[in-house]
Structure 1
Amino acid sequence: MKKIDFQYLLFYKIHRSEILKNSMVRLENNPEIDKEQKEKLRQFISAFIAFLMIQMKNTKIEEDALHYWVQMHSNDMPITKSNTFQVIVFDSFKSVLSQLHHPYEEELLLFHNELLSKVTSLYLAWIEDPPNSIDIKQDYMKKLDAFSEILIQCNGTEDLPYLLTRTEEIFSFKRCIFLSYNPWLKEFSGAIGEELSKVQLMRGKIESEPVFSLKKPLFLKKPDPYVQQAAIELFNLSSIIFIPITFERQLYGWLTLDQQGDTFDCSKLQLDVLEQVGIRIGMYLARKQMGVGVKYPLDLTEKELGILHLLSEGYSNKEMAELMFLSEFTIRDYIQKLMIKLKAKNRTQIISRAFRMGLID
C-alpha cells in the first residue's frame, strides 16, 4: 500500500493544477451551493491539495498529520457540505486520471476514495458536539468573559506575566507560555512564562518548529511530528495547544498551553474558545498603552513583600536576616509562607511565579 501512497502523491504533485482547476469549475457550476459555502469549499479544497504536497516528502500520508490537518481546517468546511467536498474532489481526480490511462488507475481511485472518506469521517468526528454541549459551551463562555474582564484591567506587555498566570487559572492549565514574534526579522524575539530559561536554551531553534508555520490553532494529543524531540524532552511535553496571537493579519506570537507532561484531550469547542483568547490578546497588544499595570491580587504583608524582593536580588537567608533585623529562623518561616501563597516548591519557583504575577519586575 505504501507504493500506492507514493504513486498517489506523485500523481497529485504532477497534476495538481489540473485537479484543482477541475474542482473549482465543478464547484462554481454547482447551483446547490451558495456563495459563502463556495468560498469555504474553495479554501478547504486548496488546503487539501497543499497538504498532499507537504506529505510528498514522507512518501506516504501520515495518519496523525491528516488528523491534525482536518482539525486546523475544520472551520473552512461548511458543515452541511462535507459530502459535496468528497464528490467534487473525487470526480475531479477521476476525470484527470482517466484521461491519462495511468497503469495504477483502479488502485489510485480506490485509495483516493478511501482517503476522502477518512477526511470526511475525521471532520465529522472533530466537529461533533460533546455530551452536555450546551452546559459545556456556557461554561467556556463564562471563562472567556472572566478572561476578558482581566484583559480590560491590564495594560501593555508589562502585564503579560500576570495575564498568563490568570489564563492558566481560568482555563485550568498548568503552564502557559507566550512566544513573541518579530515580523520584520521573521523570528521569535523572546518569551514570557515560567519556562523562560528553557525557551532561551532553544533560541535559534524555535523558528524551525513546524507548528509555527501553520498560523492556525492546533491541539496536539502527541507533539510529534510538529515539535522537535529536543523541545519535547526539554519542556516535558505530552499534549499541547498552540494558539496564534494575531490582530488585523499581524502575527504577534504564539500562546502555548499544556499540563506539564500530562496527556489531555481538547474538543473543537474548547479550541475555538482559546482561539478567541488569542484574538483578544492580539487586540490587547495592538491597543495604545496607558496608565499603570495591575498587580496580582495576592494578600502579602509588607515583610513578605520585602523578603520577596530580596530573594529576587539573590540575597541569602543570613543576609536577609541582617537587613530585616530578624532571625534566620524567622526568614525561613517567611519563605515557607511565600511558598504556600505562591504555590511554589522552592526559592526559584517563588521568584518565577512572583515575576509572572507582576509582584516583582
Structure 2
Amino acid sequence: MSKSLNHHLDNLLNDAVFMLSHYQEDLLQEWSLMLQSLKNTNKKSISVFEFISEFLVKFLRSVNEGTVDIYRMLNEIQDEWNDQFHRQPEPEALIFHLNLLENAAHKVLKSTIAYSSKLHPSVHYLFSKISEVMLFQSKNENNSIWKDAVILFNEWIIRSQNFKESVENICFGFGYFLPFERCALFKFTNEESVGVGLFGHHLNTEEIQAIAEKITNIPVLNDSLVKLKSQGHEMKNFQPIFIPCAEHDLPEKYVRKFELTSLIIVPIYVPEEGKIIGGVVLDQGPGNLFTADTSLFPALMKFGQSSGELLSKFIEADIKKQELPERDSITLSPREMEIIKLLADGASTAEAALKLYLSEFTVRDYISNIMKRLNAQNRTEVVVKAIRMGIID
C-alpha cells in the first residue's frame, strides 16, 4: 500500500490534535466552566478532570504546524499520572471525566467551524487512545493497531438506523479508517450470481448503482465464491482478493470508466449463516497502482464481517417479498429487449436513445413500461430481474 494502516491512523490522531490546538482557547474556556461545575457538585474525583485537562492544555499549546509525536504525548501523560498519584486510575472515574472532556471538544468544534462528520471519529479516537494508555499502561504503539481501526469502524456503522444509512456509513468507514481513497459497495443477489451497486465513496453513486454484473464475468471473484460455497456453514472468514492489474481480471468497460488499476475486493459476509451477501471494492484512486499489504487483511476481514452482520438486518426488508413473474408470462417486444440489453451494458437513457435512433422521451417510456412488466422499482432492478429470469444472458 502507499501508506500503512499505522500511518493512516496516526494521521487521524494528528488531525484531531491540530483541530483542538487551533481552538484551544475556546476549549480551555469550556473546560474551565465544566471544572467549576464539578467543583460546585463536590465531585470526589475532580482531581482526575483537573489533571487531564491541564495536561492536554499544556500539550495543545506546544503544538506547532508539522508532525505531532502523539505517542510521546501518550507516554508522558502516563508517566506524569504515575508521578503525581502513584496508583492506577479508577476506570469508572477516568472514563467519566474523559467523556466530559471529549463532549466539550465536540461542542467547541460544532460551534466554531462547519462540523464535518469526519471530525467525530478522529477526536473520539484521540480520547480513546488516552483512555487505553492510562488504563492499561501500554506504551506499545504498534500493538495490534488494526484492532483500533475495527473498533472505530464498528462504532461508526452501529449508528445506522436503516439500509440507506448503513451502506453510506460502511462506505465512509472503509475509506476513512483504512488507507484507501475510493470505495464501492455491492450486494449479491440470486444466490450470489449478480453483483448490484449500492453506494460509492469518492465515486459517483449513480454510476455505481447503475451496475448489475453477473459474477461469472469476474472469474477471480467467481472462483473464490465457488471455493467458499464448498465450505458451507464451516466458513469462518473470507480472505480479501487483491487484484494487482484490473485490466486482466475485470470487464473492460469498468476498467475504462473508473480508471481502475490495482484494487482489493473485500467480502461482506455473515459467518453464522455461511453466506456472502456482498462485497466492497477498494483502491487508491484513479490510475494508482499499489501492492497488497497483508498486515491489513485482518482489519479488512473484520470490516467485512461487521458490515455483513449490519446489512443482514436490513437487507431482507430491501428485497421485495413477492416471487419473480414467470418467464412465460412476460412478453417483451424486440425493442424492449434491445433496451434491456443496453441497460445491462450500463448505457444511460441518452446513450440508448442515440444507439437506437429514438428520442430520450421514447426510451424513457419504454423503460417505464419494462419496469411495470417486470415489477421493478428502477433500472438496476430491471437488469437484475432480466438476468435472473433468463431474459438476457
Q: Same fold (TM over 0.5)?
A: no
- TM-score normalised to the size of structure 2? 0.36
